[in-house]
């Protein structure tokens, strides 16, 4: 770590170097927005310089893997182009995407106190910073989660372990991480954490996509639940 490097510098360097060398099952391909869309690297770099241009430590929120309409386009986890423009004042020319998970996450961010306050305290990414799509028999490509195929999960284990270690090296507290996904994602991350001891504790929260798709009537309850978990991490910092 260079003496004058900021958190933003380290994230941008991570994104620039991000690649997957592991072989994937034949009908699944990885999405790397930084390789596939040069504007994603430019815009995401502007985002990190805007909100992470310091050397503050932060707590980590880990999702599953990027989707086609959020980080798969913008390079910024849980951020579609609409939230990127409306909430962060940044845009990608010629691209318009809407991602329900992004809607929920930015409602949490607003309730926490806004983008500047939230990103000052927290960093969001995924055990796999690359997304995946699966090709169907009729030629369509659908979002695919790393845990939906045991073959894919096994192929990615080393990659995901390396990525989590690199996330921590950015300047991440290792007392507690939040896992966005209280089912399969939490079970897998807990198992991986037992092997590698990344964090003392991982706390699960329902995934934003699940909330928006199946529990939207209870959205305010889940926003409050997220805020309580975030406040717990912040208070741990203050007490220490």
Q: Supply 196's token pair.
A: 């590698």
**Phi and psi for 116 in degrees, rounded to 5?**
-65, -45
Per-residue confidence (pLDDT) for residue 66, from 0 to 100: 84
Q: Looking at residues 159-181, what average pLDDT do you find?
A: 97
> What is the chain's percent helix, strand, coil content, to nearest 5?
55, 15, 35
Q: pLDDT tier at 92 (50, 70, 90 boundaries)?
A: confident
**Position 94 in a domain:** yes
Task: Give the pLDDT confidence score for residue 61 in this predicted structure.
Answer: 98
What is the chain's Cα-based Rg? 17
Q: Average pLDDT in the 190-205 region?
A: 97
* 116-147 residue pLDDT tens: 999 999 999 999 999 898 888 888 888 889 99
Please tell me the predicted confidence (pLDDT) of residue 3. Answer: 62
Q: What pLDDT is attached to residue 26?
A: 81
* pLDDT at position 210 over 60: yes
| pLDDT confidence of residue 65 | 87
Counted domains in the chain: 1
Question: Tokens 């007392």 correspond to what residue?
Answer: 175
What CATH number does the domain containing 230 carry? 3.40.470.10
* C-alpha to C-alpha distance for 49 and 51, rounded to whole angstroms: 6
Asked whether residue 2 is domain-assigned, the answer is no
Buried b (16+ CB within 10 A) or exposed e, 16-33: eebebeeeeeeebbbbbb
68-78 pLDDT, tens per residue? 766 778 889 99
Tokens of 177: 């991480």
| Residue 33 domain-assigned (yes or no) | yes
Tell me the residue range of the domain where 45 lies: 7-235
CB 149 within 8 A of CB 132: no
Q: Does the structure show a pLDDT above 90 at 95?
A: no
Q: How far apart are CA 14 and CA 149, in angstroms?
A: 26
Written as six digits, the tokens of 119 are 């990103």
So what's the pLDDT on residue 43?
Answer: 92
């Amino acid at each position: 770590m260079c003496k004058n490097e900021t958190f933003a510098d380290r994230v941008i360097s991570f994104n620039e170097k991000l690649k997957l060398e592991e072989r994937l099952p034949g009908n699944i391909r990885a999405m790397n927005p930084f390789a596939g869309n040069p504007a994603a690297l430019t815009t995401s770099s502007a985002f990190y310089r805007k909100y992470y241009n310091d050397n503050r430590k932060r707590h980590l929120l880990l999702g599953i893997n990027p989707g086609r309409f959020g980080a798969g386009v913008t390079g910024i986890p849980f951020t579609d182009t609409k939230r990127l423009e409306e909430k962060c004042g940044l845009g990608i020319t010629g691209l318009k995407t809407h991602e329900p998970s992004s809607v929920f996450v930015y409602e949490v961010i607003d309730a926490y106190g806004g983008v500047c306050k939230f990103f000052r305290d927290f960093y969001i990414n995924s055990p796999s910073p690359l997304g995946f799509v699966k090709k169907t028999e009729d030629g369509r490509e659908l979002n695919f989660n790393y845990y939906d195929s045991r073959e894919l999960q096994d192929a990615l284990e080393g990659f995901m372990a390396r990525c989590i270690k690199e996330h921590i090296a950015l300047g991440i507290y290792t007392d507690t991480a939040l896992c966005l996904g209280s089912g399969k994602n939490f079970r897998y991350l807990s198992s991986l954490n037992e092997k590698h001891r990344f964090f003392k504790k991982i706390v699960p929260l329902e995934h934003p996509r699940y909330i928006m798709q199946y529990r939207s009537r209870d959205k305010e309850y889940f926003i409050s639940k997220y805020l309580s978990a975030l406040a717990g991490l912040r208070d741990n910092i203050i007490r220490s």
